[in-house]
């Protein structure tokens, strides 16, 4: 048996089958540097998906590696019972880039736990226990977070977590009100929040939660004005506005540090993870001191705020500020978007190209009139990208949206190379 067959049979035998690798023949990654990764056979790939938008300053970023290695040799674990310098440093760096009054953080080991903490925080602060989310959202894999998630394939149980309600997806490409969808539709989408509060809750919701750019749902950017209106509505009913920045945070959306800042909304609570520590397992919930004060019961996390993870977060945030990643995401995002729009002109089945900064997606459709989702094409494109030595992601309700989200330090020549490979992958499909 070859080495890769051995590894794959180990995966099949010992890992839960629900953990499904992306490709027909799963890719076994072995090494990475910057935006490049190598498989076990030494084949190189340009990684424009960054382990789901997570290696935000590049695989094995030397500064992050150095700080983690140094910390590993000094002190590897404490639990939150003790104070550590790396945790204080990471939290103060986070507070310095977070919008408005958000300055107090609880660190977790994943995005899911950050979401759990955000919802608990909102319940504790308001003394209420109903929460409104968006259809097609993704918020995590725990019992509560998978119920808050509204993509059926990511909701394993029929049992419902109480108090969760979902409202209409503010989805411009499939806007039922007007095409092209614009700011005038935002009010109509937002009306559904008020309808749901009035009809399916006790009228006293604890919070509204939204991804500022919907990730797993297919890189959906709500129409201008929607999130601002959503915040006004939830606040008029005494609830909090929670922004899920797990994918869209840390400069990813361009210009600003967090996706929600494009909407002129100061969230009451933000949940973050992924890009925060360049791949070290870190999630975070940040809020204002006034709201944080409402959590009076004790809380603890054995691994949350772990010194090595915190060294990774502090180092990643340091690189992000030094390199001005929001600005880089704007410039390189523009370059990527321009190239993708040119491909849309050539291929009928690319129905929509959208996103913000370096979080860009292509929605594939059977035809542009009916806009029937085209998951088979998306799957084929994913595979042909792999043949061209390019890693991209997939998403959308029907797995018909190709997602791109490289390291925020990606350079112009690397984007150019990525576009060349992506173009070749599109042509490869036509030739079949
Ligand atoms: N929120 C969003 C927007 C996400 O994309 C994800 C992960 N895909 C999560 C929460 C959950 O994060 P994790 O997988 O780290 O638990």
Write the CATH number for 366. Answer: 3.90.1150.10
Give pLDDT tens digits for 9-52. 999 999 999 999 999 999 999 999 999 999 999 999 999 999 99
Q: Give the number of the atom of ligand 1 that is nearest the alpha carbon of residue 283.
A: 15
**Burial classification of residue 228, based on how many CB atoms lie within 10 Å of its CB (0-12 exposed, 13-18 middle, 19 or more buried):** middle
Boundary-marking domain end, from 323, 357, 388 = 323
Residue 271 CA to ligand 1 center (angstroms) comes to 9
Instruction: Give residue 64's pLDDT band: very low, low, confident or very high (50, 70, 90).
Output: very high
Q: How many residues does the chain have?
A: 432
Residue 66, CB-side half-sphere exposure with 13 Å CA sphere: 6
Q: Both 194 and 286 in a single domain?
A: yes
What ranges in 323-397 are assigned the alpha helix state H?
325-346, 375-387
Integer Cα distance of 341 and 345 in angstroms: 6
pLDDT at 355: 98
Q: Both 316 and 338 in a single domain?
A: no
Integer Cα distance of 193 and 295 in angstroms: 27
Boundary-marking domain end, from 265, 289, 323 = 323
Instruction: Give residue 430's pLDDT band: very low, low, confident or very high (50, 70, 90).
Output: confident
pLDDT at 238: 98
Looking at every residue in the chain, the average pLDDT score rounds to 97
Q: Both 45 and 94 in a single domain?
A: no
Integer Cα distance of 104 and 366 in angstroms: 47
Rounded to two decimals, what is the model's pTM?
Answer: 0.98
Judged by phi (left if over 0) then psi (alpha if -120 to 50, else beta), residue 394 lies in beta
Instruction: Give residue 230's pLDDT band: very low, low, confident or very high (50, 70, 90).
Output: very high
* Residue numbers of the domain that contains 202: 62-323
Integer Cα distance of 120 and 34 in angstroms: 37
Is 397:136 a contact under the CB 8 Å cutoff? yes
Residue 300, CB-side half-sphere exposure with 13 Å CA sphere: 7
Please tell me the total count of domains within the chain.
2
Q: Both 86 and 222 in a single domain?
A: yes
Q: Which two tokens stand for residue 12?
A: 């099949």
Q: Both 315 and 329 in a single domain?
A: no
112 close to ligand 1 (CB < 6 Angstrom):
yes
Boundary-marking domain end, from 323, 349, 371 = 323
Q: Both 419 and 275 in a single domain?
A: no
Q: Both 242 and 125 in a single domain?
A: yes
Q: Both 57 and 108 in a single domain?
A: no
SS3 state at 401: strand
pLDDT at 161: 93
Q: Both 311 and 203 in a single domain?
A: yes
Q: Both 255 and 135 in a single domain?
A: yes
Q: Give the number of the atom of ligand 1 that is nearest the alpha carbon of residue 113.
A: 16
Q: Both 97 and 236 in a single domain?
A: yes
Name the residue of 107, 260, 273, 401 to mutate for ligand 1: max ligand atoms within 8 A of Cβ: 273
Provide mean pLDDT across the span 298-322: 97
54 close to ligand 1 (CB < 6 Angstrom):
no
Q: Does the pLDDT at position 431 exceed 90?
A: no
Instruction: Give residue 357's pLDDT band: very low, low, confident or very high (50, 70, 90).
Output: very high
């Amino acid at each position: 048996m070859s080495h890769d067959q051995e590894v794959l049979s180990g995966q099949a035998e010992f890992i839960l089958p629900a953990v499904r690798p992306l490709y027909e023949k799963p890719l076994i990654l072995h090494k990475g540097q910057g935006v490049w990764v190598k498989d076990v056979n030494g084949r190189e790939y340009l990684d424009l998906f960054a382990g789901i938008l997570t290696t935000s300053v590049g695989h094995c970023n030397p500064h992050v590696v150095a700080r983690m290695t140094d910390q590993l040799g000094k002190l590897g674990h404490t639990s939150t019972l003790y104070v550590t310098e790396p945790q204080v440093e990471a939290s103060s760096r986070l507070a310095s880039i977070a919008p408005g009054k958000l300055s107090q953080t609880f660190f977790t080991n994943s995005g899911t736990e950050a979401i759990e903490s955000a919802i608990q925080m909102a319940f504790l602060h308001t003394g209420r226990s109903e929460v409104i989310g968006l259809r097609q959202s993704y918020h995590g894999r725990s019992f509560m977070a998978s119920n808050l998630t509204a993509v059926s394939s990511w909701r394993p149980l029929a049992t419902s977590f109480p108090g969760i309600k979902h409202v209409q997806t503010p989805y411009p490409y499939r806007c039922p009100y007007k095409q092209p969808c614009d700011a005038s539709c935002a009010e109509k989408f937002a009306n559904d929040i008020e309808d749901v509060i009035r009809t399916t809750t006790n009228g006293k919701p604890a919070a509204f939660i939204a991804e500022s750019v919907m990730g797993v749902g297919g890189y959906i950017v709500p129409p201008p004005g929607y999130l601002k209106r959503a915040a006004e509505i939830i606040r008029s009913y005494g609830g909090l506005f929670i922004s899920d920045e797990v994918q869209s945070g840390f400069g990813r959306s361009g210009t600003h540090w967090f996706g929600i800042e494009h909407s002129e909304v100061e969230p009451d609570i933000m949940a973050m993870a992924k890009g925060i520590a360049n791949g070290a397992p870190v999630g975070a919930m940040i809020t204002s001191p006034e709201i944080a004060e409402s959590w009076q019961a004790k809380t603890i996390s054995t691994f949350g705020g772990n010194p090595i993870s915190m060294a990774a977060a502090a180092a990643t945030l340091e690189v992000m500020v030094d390199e001005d990643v929001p600005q880089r995401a704007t410039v390189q995002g523009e370059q990527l978007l321009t190239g993708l729009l040119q491909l849309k002109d050539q291929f009928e089945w690319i129905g929509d190209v959208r996103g913000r900064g370096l979080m860009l997606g292509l929605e594939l459709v059977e035809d542009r009139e009916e806009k029937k989702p085209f998951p088979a094409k998306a799957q084929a494109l994913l595979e042909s990208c792999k043949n061209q030595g390019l890693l991209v992601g997939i998403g959308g309700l029907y797995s018909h949206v190709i997602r791109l989200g490289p390291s925020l330090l990606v350079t112009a020549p690397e984007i150019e190379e990525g576009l060349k490979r992506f173009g070749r992958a599109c042509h490869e499909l036509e030739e079949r």
